[in-house]
Structure 1
């Protein structure tokens, strides 16, 4: 059940992190590691995040994974890390392993055709500049636009895509700054479940996210795992606690490094 998460971390959180035999740290990107900006191609991490991620990547007994709604191909220019962490993209439809191999869940041919028709309808309606085609979805973005322009884009997208979604068993998902027409069957929760299944017994799984799409990930966490809402303003969530970005997020990652180095 969704409730307002408590501010700050549980009292036993850091001792549990320190003594966990293995740790799985899963991080959303937009709104969590990076601020929302009008130009999504310039949504770089908060200052200091890259350096902390680089240190986390070589930390003993911590597996670092980025879980995002973006396409995997979007992430290297934004993260600018070498090596890159493991990345799950498109709400679990894509996966880039830490070694660079990319795996994708194949879409039904009918879905591919439907997404192409949705693209064509949006282009015909004159909103092509705000479209983003992902491997398993089509999104329209209106972050940073004035209310009149935003309302028009939302109206056009809803009108043009609603019938396609209903007739082809697709889903319309609002997100912070836009609307997405998505193939059902995969969510960030699937990424969390698969990552947990791959982890050895006793692994402490922790997921940090901000958006409604992260609620699937919070729900997929197991008993004893921890979901953390990263958000300035409180809202109902399946997460158990909340941190404010960027300062509390940065302090969280610094403390994770310090505690894990102390605990081995």
Structure 2
């Protein structure tokens, strides 16, 4: 049995499985216009198979705001898929809907001011886009030159250091995020695990921000990394299509184990 098949067989045997998945670069290809990202059909089919199995819960765990995550995931009100948005600061639960922290006027005002300042500071920088987020902002530089991206990141770094030094900074693929909430994908996984009573968790992701979740996993869990970059994951898949195949193999194996 290959290492991949062995990992699938082991996680498929657990009593109560949580399949937690990053979205961008994991279930969907990265897109120059982030709101146009969509799950590939093969991933959607595998997720539907997994979500229909007994004692199996699927969750998307993303840095996207809950609103934006629902849009790109084409997530409907009757979906069985749980959501953790904003790195675990927001949740959506079947039968309950959105679970969001109470608004804070001071934090919200600072977020808006920093967003406005970041837009002004990066105005005229080709390929740079400032994304408003529920608890902060993101600096997208996917289509910018390396020099322009570095200049944009430096400009916004200076703004945040001066105006909100307590904010959390995260860097990912062609994005730097800043937030006044400090949750991470590790806390999101812990909350989801506790909510459903999972006996094991499979988490898959492709980016630096996913490593928080991957390093938090225990011996009974399984971490999967999409791509070839360094990771704490124990299993690596080549790309989004390969992860979809992996999830489909898991659905087949778990259906067999649960018979």
TM over 0.5: yes
Distance 1:38 1:209 in 2: 19
**Structure 1 position 45, deviation (Å):** 1.6
Q: Does 1:133 align with 2:132?
A: yes
Give 2:170's aligned residue: 173
**Structure 1 position 9, deviation (Å):** 4.5
Q: 1:117 aligns with which of 113, 131, 152?
A: 113
Contact 1:9/1:242 (CA < 8 Å) preserved in 2?
A: no
Gaps of 5+ in 1: 1-7
Matches within 5 A, 1:172-251: 172-200=169-197, 203-231=199-227, 233-235=228-230, 237-251=231-245
Distance 1:257 1:245 in 2: 19
Gaps of 5+ in 2: none
SS at structure 1 position matched to 2:164: helix
Give 1:96's aligned residue: 92
Distance 1:155 1:230 in 2: 29
**Structure 1 position 192, deviation (Å):** 0.6
Give 2:150's aligned residue: 151
RMSD: 2.2
Distance 2:192 2:219 in 1: 15
Q: Which runs of 4+ in 1 moved over 3 A?
A: 8-12, 106-110, 126-129
Structure 1, residues 173-193: CA drift from partner, whole Å, max 9, x if none? Answer: 222111111124311111111
Give 1:5's aligned residue: none
**Structure 1 position 199, deviation (Å):** 3.4
Give 2:248's aligned residue: 254
Distance 2:122 2:58 in 1: 41
**Structure 1 position 43, deviation (Å):** 1.1
**Structure 1 position 41, deviation (Å):** 1.0
SS at structure 2 position matched to 1:48: helix
Q: 1:18 to 1:123 in 2, by over 3 A?
A: closer
Of residues 150-159 and 171-180 in structure 1, the stretch that sits farther from structure 2 once superposed is 150-159
Contact 2:11/2:222 (CA < 8 Å) preserved in 1?
A: no
Of residues 138-147 and 79-88 in structure 1, the stretch that sits farther from structure 2 once superposed is 79-88
Give 2:46's aligned residue: 52
Structure 1, residues 147-173: CA drift from partner, whole Å, max 9, x if none? Answer: 34323322322222222232xx11222
Contact 1:50/1:81 (CA < 8 Å) preserved in 2?
A: no
**Structure 1 position 244, deviation (Å):** 1.3
